[in-house]
Amino acid sequence: MKQQIIKYRSIIVIAMSLIFNLISSLLVWHPEGQIFNTRPLTVTEWVCDIISTIIFFFGFISVFYDINDHSKKKIKEAIIETNDELKNDEDAVVNIKKKED
């Protein structure tokens, strides 16, 4: 379960920012007869919109970070696997040495 949360944490952050924006728009004051404000009318609504926008972009940046991190791990795994296969091949010209972490 923890792995799934870590895997999709950026998507969860984006979803929570959108939910926060929706709830804040529904709960903040609006004129009579209007259920939902399409444009911010009060300072509180502006502040809530700015907060949700910042959280949304933070989640968006996290998506790119997670994609980059995942790609690095896959490339490293491919290089190590190739090296293991080349060790068993007697005709191999290349041998990659693993740097200890």
Q: Say which residue, 86 or 57, is predicted with more confidence.
A: 57
Q: What is the pLDDT of residue 101?
A: 56
Q: What is the pLDDT of residue 32?
A: 73
CA-to-CA separations, 65 to 8, 25, 37, 71, in angstroms, rounded: 12, 30, 34, 10
Q: What is the pLDDT of residue 57?
A: 94
Helices 43-88 and 9-27 cross at an angle (nearest 10°) of 170
What is the distance between the alpha carbons of residues 35 and 25, in angstroms, rounded to a whole number? 10
| 10-68 pLDDT per residue, tens | 899 999 999 998 888 788 766 677 766 677 777 888 888 899 999 999 999 998 998 89
8 A C-beta contact, residue 40 and residue 46 = yes
pTM score of the predicted model: 0.68
Query: Exposed, middle or buried: residue 66 (CB in 10 Å: 0-12, 13-18, 19+)?
Result: middle
